[in-house]
Amino acid sequence: MANALKIGVAGLGTVGASLVRILQTRANALTVACGRPIMVTAVSARDASKDRGILMEGIAWYADPVEMAKEADIDVFVELVGGAEGAAEQSVRAALVRGLHVVTANKALLSRHGVELAKLAEAKGCLLNYEAAVAGGIPVIKTLRESLTGNNFSRIYGIMNGTCNYILTRMEREGLSFADCLKEAQRLGYAEADQSFDIEGNDTAHKLSILTTLAFGCEISADQIYLEGITNISIEDIHAAADLGYRIKLLGVAQKTESGIEQRVHPTMVPLDSVIAQVDGVTNAVALESDILGELLMVGPGAGGNATASAVLGDITDIAKSRPGAQEVPVLGRPAHLLEPYRQAEMQSHEGGYFIRLTVQDRTGVFASIATKMAENAISLESIVQHSKQPAAPDRPQTIILVTHATMESAVRKAVGAIKGEGYLIGEPQVIRIERPKT
């Protein structure tokens, strides 16, 4: 039997503690499956006195993860510290420079430094695995890096943030406000410490940028993603969507076009009878569209200690099963030095069009004015209806719902801007894209 694979774990939060516990309690089964023992020989965390329900006998303790990466008697450095800079970036870089394999769940780190770290890992002959960085327990990274090699991808989209999906699900099912649902998500531990990271779409954008690179063979570009969160989604939007046969989801979408690659994160209306509309709560879903396979939808837990630890464990066992001298899978699907420069495309027309909600003063000519502004921008309307539940009255605001056919983003924004200039609009208009996925 081969020598034991020695693991160092940086970060003993929910995921780190769960990972060490699994490695300890299932040591025999993992040895049989991998053909060699896997042993945790070093850990790093802030508080050495905290009881985490793991056995510390024979494990070296390091207060500084960078020191552990440089000095510990380990073969694999597991980074679960988090963050794009600081200790996470420094420790991963130190581990790779030293020639250690690295496993990380850090999407922020990879979206910022992924290409550079991939080049370093490949130069050193090290593995850099990161299944847990995107969609938790869903094996989408392995699927893109290995299983679907040879497929040409046209589009990737999905629900990649469990917090946002949880909030939108509860708003619909229980009629709760956005603020109330966010508080509950925080109480249950679904939301990040910085709640804006989830609800403003940044978390989804980091994950999408990694998937975009794997699918389209380009350099990671997290800063060139159209970004819109869910803070402006109201109960009125949820109800209007349901009345029209849709459900609102925060989607990350990347697609290849003739002019480049389009990446966007925003609330989206999807048909109630689509599979992705049925993905509720903290569950994630990622759809891949390719020329050979067609469309594949993967659904599973997107967060939580066990789901993330399971993905990290899978990366570790892959390393345990690998053998020196074997041809390794490139970190980002193709050798990092062969990644193409990212070329951003303009926002394309959307097959499903747009949902537009306007609150207006109830006066003669408003409907006609709105329709005219749309026509002046070459926007074809599928429907325009008054959606207010109260009867019309001269001093009572009215809600008008428009659904457009396929059109350009720029045209919609220009038309809405023209409507705002007419003086009858109350508050800000709501614009939500409609997607009609195959799944």
What pairing do the DSSP bridges indicate for beta strands 226-227 and 128-129?
unpaired
CB count within 10 Å of CB 117 equals 24
Q: What are phi and psi of 304, to 5 degrees?
A: 105, 155
Is the dihedral angle over the CA atoms 54, 57, 58, 61 positive or is it negative?
positive
Q: What are phi and psi of 110, to 5 degrees?
A: -70, -35
Our answer to whether residue 207 is catalytic in this structure is yes
- Residue of 128, 190, 135 whose CA lies nearest to 158: 135
Ramachandran quadrant class, 38 (left: phi over 0; alpha: psi -120 to 50; beta: rest): beta
8 A C-beta contact, residue 250 and residue 161: yes
Write the CB contacts of 99 (distance below 8 Å, at least 6 apart in sequence).
Answer: 124, 125, 126
8 A C-beta contact, residue 141 and residue 131: yes
Tokens 């609009």, located at residue: 425
CA–CA separation, 12 vs 308, rounded Å? 13
Burial code of 121-153, b = ≥16 C-beta within 10 A, e = fewer? bbebebbbbbbbbbbbbbbbbbbbbeebeebeb
Query: Helices in 99-177 by DSSP H: which ranges?
Result: 107-124, 140-142, 162-174
In this structure, what DSSP letter does residue 341 have?
A: P
Burial code of 289-311, b = ≥16 C-beta within 10 A, e = fewer? bbeeeeebbbbbbbbbbbbbbbb
Which tokens belong to 364? Answer: 């003669």
CA–CA separation, 131 vs 312, rounded Å? 7
List 107, 207, 249, 256, catalytic entry: 207
Cite the active site residues.
207
